[in-house]
């Protein structure tokens, strides 16, 4: 799959028609999108419980940002499909996330925190969402979700693509703006891919921590790290200085 194929899918007429029903006729692509290669039995690609808003700036909390999660093969509980917690978006609250899950750089929600703040029942409300090739799962940015482990022998490829109104902040800490795809004022709007693709969001994340980073340095650099407490350190946090951490939050000191 090339970037052109992803561009075509992201701006697909029928997909945008569905998105329009949710957010209205003005549509921007959100700068956070991923092509995921979920390799078998790999903790690094198994995403723990979280709300997508947990990765974004607080000014996105009141903006509806639908995500289309699109597997590039049949997905099921064996190869790492998604699970969500039914009704977990209804309070409109953002639960207290923690960092970092296991040996990954993901933020995560504990089950206790979800039950307390999002008023869900983890014994009853978890829903597995197997999606066949050609289908998609549409997610609200407040709904808690995760992906299961991949116990198969094949890579579970998927895309997650997001949209929102172009009239509100996309909550990406000013690092990158959205991409106008549909405008009620201009039915022939030209999508400015050059500007959008010209700005590498990973490089912008690196710049936001104020230091040059080697491409193979796996230290976490997302600005969302400043939002949530780092309660568990691992190889992705060990190079962050105590001084930087304490300027972010009331983090626990790093233990060797």
Binding-site member from 10, 69, 173, 224 for ligand AKG (CB under 6 A)? 69
Is the link from the previous residue into 100 a cis peptide, with omega within 30 of 0?
Answer: yes
Smallest distance from ligand AKG to CB 27, Å: 19
- Over 97-149, what HEC string results? CEECCCCCCCEECCHHHHHHHHCCCCCCCEEEECCCCCCCEEECCCCCEEECC
User: Considering the rule CB under 6 A, would residue 47 count as an interface residue with ligand AKG?
Assistant: yes
Cβ partners under 8 Å of residue 49, min gap 6: 85, 108, 109, 110, 111, 114, 144, 145, 146
Whole-Å CA distances, 155 to 14, 16, 83: 28, 28, 18
Binding-site member from 67, 164, 169, 237 for ligand AKG (CB under 6 A)? 67
Rank residues 130 and 244 by Cβ distance to ligand AKG and give the closer one. Answer: 130
Residues 148-207 that bind ligand AKG (CB under 6 A): 158, 160
Smallest distance from ligand AKG to CB 55, Å: 8
Smallest distance from ligand AKG to CB 156, Å: 8
Report the residue closest to ligand AKG, judged by CB.
147
User: Considering the rule CB under 6 A, would residue 251 count as an interface residue with ligand AKG?
Assistant: no
User: Considering the rule CB under 6 A, would residue 233 count as an interface residue with ligand AKG?
Assistant: no
Smallest distance from ligand AKG to CB 149, Å: 10
Rank residues 66 and 245 by Cβ distance to ligand AKG and give the closer one. Answer: 66
Collapsing DSSP to helix, strand or coil, 10 comes out as helix
User: Considering the rule CB under 6 A, would residue 36 count as an interface residue with ligand AKG?
Assistant: yes
Residues of this chain that bind ligand AKG (CB under 6 A): 36, 38, 47, 52, 67, 69, 145, 147, 158, 160
């Amino acid at each position: 799959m090339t970037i052109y194929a992803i561009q075509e899918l992201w701006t697909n007429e029928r997909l945008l028609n569905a998105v329009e029903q949710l957010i209205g006729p003005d549509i921007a692509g959100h700068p956070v999108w991923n092509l995921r290669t979920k390799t078998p039995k790999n903790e690094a690609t198994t995403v723990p419980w979280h709300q997508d808003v947990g990765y974004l700036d607080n000014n996105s909390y009141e903006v509806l940002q639908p995500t289309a999660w699109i597997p590039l093969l049949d997905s099921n509980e064996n190869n790492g499909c998604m699970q969500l917690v039914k009704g977990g978006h209804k309070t409109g609250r953002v639960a207290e996330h923690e960092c970092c899950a296991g040996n990954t750089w993901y933020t995560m929600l504990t089950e206790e925190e979800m039950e307390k703040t999002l008023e869900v029942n983890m014994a009853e409300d978890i829903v597995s969402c197997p999606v066949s090739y050609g289908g998609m799962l549409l997610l609200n940015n407040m709904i808690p979700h995760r992906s299961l482990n991949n116990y198969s022998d094949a890579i579970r490829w998927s895309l997650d693509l997001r949209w929102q109104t172009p009239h509100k902040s996309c909550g990406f800490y000013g690092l990158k703006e959205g991409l106008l795809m549909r405008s009620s004022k201009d039915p022939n709007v030209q999508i400015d891919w050059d500007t959008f693709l010209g700005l590498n969001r990973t490089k912008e994340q690196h710049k936001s921590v104020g230091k040059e980073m080697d491409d193979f340095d796996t230290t976490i650099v997302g600005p969302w790290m400043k939002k949530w407490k780092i309660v568990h350190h691992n190889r992705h946090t060990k190079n962050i200085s105590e001084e930087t951490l304490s300027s972010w939050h009331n983090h626990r000191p790093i233990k060797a």
